[in-house]
Structure 1
């Protein structure tokens, strides 16, 4: 039997992860309508964000603070195939996303018109979940989003005092 190398295993799970997200959404949408599917999707990604943040904290072996949030989000974005830059700022950090694999999947599936609706809600819920798990002294603000016809997603994470 042929064995998969580590990259093939990563690719397998990455593609499966993204495929199951779209597949379950379309099946729920077909049976119950877009609004119900979207409501459930937003709830799922809020919980998923918490699960991922907790796993990342275990993997990286850190406590809760803004630096852990920064390291964890950078790692998450790298794993999920985002093209982005990140930089520390005076009171937090900024992430600039040049290419979003989730938005690209929406375009590929002929659902670009829904990307704005889904991206605005799901991304906000997901990032808020990461903050609540890793650095609840932070808040974040989208300056722009690719799914809202911007060239980049620009997200500022700011420490609240």
Structure 2
């Protein structure tokens, strides 16, 4: 596999800083296209395209991380936790992951998207619809036995201590007998 030779001379700290820069750039590109559609065509049209993009991108991201982490087909909640912790925006957002029995709780404590929109005087991004697709498809790509449900996400906030909260459940498949 070839790589950018300029990376060879960077220290570990510089590589980590560069990864944060790349993550911020990725998020900026995501926000710029969204706000362009939002401004020209309205929130409903922007949300439609956001959902369509995340249906595909989240699976691509999950499968690349699954391969990178050498996760098995059924990686379980531990595999999902590892993959969630390495997502692009995990480098720039503050989140928490907790596993209890067959459930993983994921909380986005601080979200750069909502913080930026607030700073610009914009209404919050109604990300629940997109989040259901994004997190649900990501989890299924890691392990098709995992289901996802929204606990709290704008505009349906039930937990004021975080930007959003998600619940992933590992549903063991029943063995069918004749």
What TM-score results when the alignment is normalised by the length of structure 1?
0.83
Runs of 4+ in 1 over 6 A off after TM superposition: none
More helix by share: 1
Q: Quote the RMSD (CA, aligned, Å).
A: 2.4
C-alpha offsets along residues 82-117 of structure 1, whole Å, 9 cap, x if unaligned?
Answer: 222222211122123321222212222322x232x2
* Number of corresponding residues: 157
What does residue range 4-153 of structure 1 map to in structure 2 within 5 Å? 5-64=14-73, 65-66=75-76, 67-76=78-87, 79-111=90-122, 113-115=123-125, 117=126, 119-145=127-153, 148-149=156-157, 150-152=160-162, 153=164
- Alignment gaps of 5+ in structure 2: 1-8, 173-178
Classify 1:35/1:97 alpha carbon distance in 2 versus 1 (closer, same or farther; 3 Å): closer
Instruction: Give the whole-Å Cα distance in 2 for the aligned partners of 1:78 and 1:33.
Output: 25
Unmatched runs of 5 consecutive residues or more in structure 1: none
**CA distance in structure 2 between the aligned counterparts of 1:37 and 1:48, rounded to whole angstroms:** 16
Task: State the 1:155 CA deviation.
Answer: 1.9
Matched, 1:159 2:170: yes
TM-score by length of 2: 0.76
How far did residue 39 of structure 1 move?
Answer: 0.5
**Secondary structure class of the residue paired with 1:114:** coil
Deviation string, structure 1 residues 46-93 (Cα, Å, up to 9, x no partner): 211111101111211112321211210122277332222222211122
